[in-house]
Amino acid sequence: MLKVTIGQYYPADSFIHRLDARMKLLCTMIFVVVIFFIGNFLGYALAALYLVVVIRVSKVPPKFLLRGLRAILFIIVFTAVLNVFFTPGETLVFELGFVRVTQEGLLAAGRMGLRLVMLIIGSSILTLTTTPIQLTDAIESALKPFKKIGVPAHEIAMMMTIALRFIPTLIEEMDKIMKAQMARGADFDTGGIVKKARSLVPLLVPLFISAFRRAEELALAMESRCYRGDVGRTRMKQMKMALRDLGALISLAVFTGGLFILNHIANIHGIW
């Protein structure tokens, strides 16, 4: 059985879930940018504290967040290791042949690793507490200002919505076709690369045919309900900002302000 983790939504009723998706998108973007300006570990401690509070408020079990982290663990480790080796520095920690590990390198690696982890956790909170549909709506409104320069905001959002909607369907379909062919003795696991590639034909042909059939049916269904793109389109679910959205923004502003003060203090006293 295949598992989908792309944009996985965790249904719950929390303050974070109820926030306007546009506000969540904005706050996540601000958070990600701010994370990259933190220069010392005191700042990371504050950011971690902020994240912990947000996670508690969102009622998402931490294991869901860690699951997302596990998927990109390799990238994090890889980036950190690169940083260790390629940061120029003075204070030598140890040397082994041509490998020089310096204090500056270790610190840079630590910062980079923490940044990536927080970036992933921050954006996971967004996708875990926002349904894909709300998210694409938010992206559409974020792209609206660029419409004037020819960015097809609505079309991009619609395509994303449809793609998100059909990923699980296609996976389910693939699972079914795979089983049906396995019932006829197909073998997807053994053999060399050529044999494996050939064994995919009985899987991919039906999958493509059904994807095209679905696309055609969907287009027909949309047209028969008078879909004609963006112009004059209204929404069933209007997005409305509420007081709590302002609250969320203020909490982020306080956090950012705190970080800058910490940064300043750290600079004066020369803390890492």
Partner 1 sequence: MSIEIKNLCHYYGKGSTFEKKALDEINLTIEKGDFVGLIGHTGSGKSTLVQHLNALIKPQSGNIIIDGEDINADKSRLKAIRTKVGLVFQYPEHQLFDMTVYKDVAFGPKNAGLSEEEVDERVKTSLEMVGIAPELHQKSPFELSGGQKRRVAIAGVLAMRPEILVLDEPAAGLDPRGRDEILGQVKLMHEKLGITVILVSHSMEDIARLVNRILVINGGKIALTGTPAEIFSKFDELEAIGLSSTQTAYIMRDLQAKGFNLPNNIFTVDEAVATILEVYLHE
Q: Please tell me whether residue 201 binds partner 1 under the rule CB under 8 A.
A: yes
Report how far Cα 53 is from the mean position of its chain's Cα atoms.
20
Radius of gyration of the chain measured on its C-alpha atoms: 24
Among 19, 21, 107, 177, binds partner 1 (CB under 8 A): 177
Minimum Å gap between C-beta 224 and partner 1 is 21
Check if the beta carbon of residue 32 is closer than 8 Å to that of residue 122: yes
Among 45, 155, 163, 187, binds partner 1 (CB under 8 A): 187
3-state class of 100 per DSSP? strand
Number of residues near partner 1 (by CB under 8 A) = 21
Q: Please tell me whether residue 181 binds partner 1 under the rule CB under 8 A.
A: yes
Distances (CA, A) of 230 to 79, 136, 233: 42, 14, 6
Residues in a beta bridge with 92: 102
> Which of residues 2 and 193 has its CB atom nearest to partner 1 in the complex?
2
Q: Please tell me whether residue 71 binds partner 1 under the rule CB under 8 A.
A: no
> Which of residues 102 and 124 has its CB atom nearest to partner 1 in the complex?
124
Minimum Å gap between C-beta 188 and partner 1 is 11
Q: Please tell me whether residue 2 binds partner 1 under the rule CB under 8 A.
A: no
Q: Buried b vs exposed e over 120-158: b needs ≥16 C-beta within 10 Å?
A: bbbbbbbbbbbebbbbbbbbbbbbeeeeeeeeebbeebb
Q: Please tell me whether residue 185 binds partner 1 under the rule CB under 8 A.
A: yes
Among 113, 206, 251, 258, binds partner 1 (CB under 8 A): 206
Q: Please tell me whether residue 14 binds partner 1 under the rule CB under 8 A.
A: no
> Which of residues 214 and 244 has its CB atom nearest to partner 1 in the complex?
214
Minimum Å gap between C-beta 236 and partner 1 is 25
Helix (H) or strand (E) holding 103: helix 103-129
- Other beta carbons within 10 Å of 261: 12
Which region among 141-149, 159-167, 181-189, 218-226 touches partner 1 (by CB under 8 A)?
A: 181-189
Which of 119, 47, 46, 19 minimizes the C-alpha distance to 76? Answer: 119
Residues in a beta bridge with 99: 96
> Which of residues 5 and 91 has its CB atom nearest to partner 1 in the complex?
5
Where do contacts with partner 1 occur on this chain (CB under 8 A)? 10-11, 173, 176-177, 179-187, 201-203, 205-206, 209-210
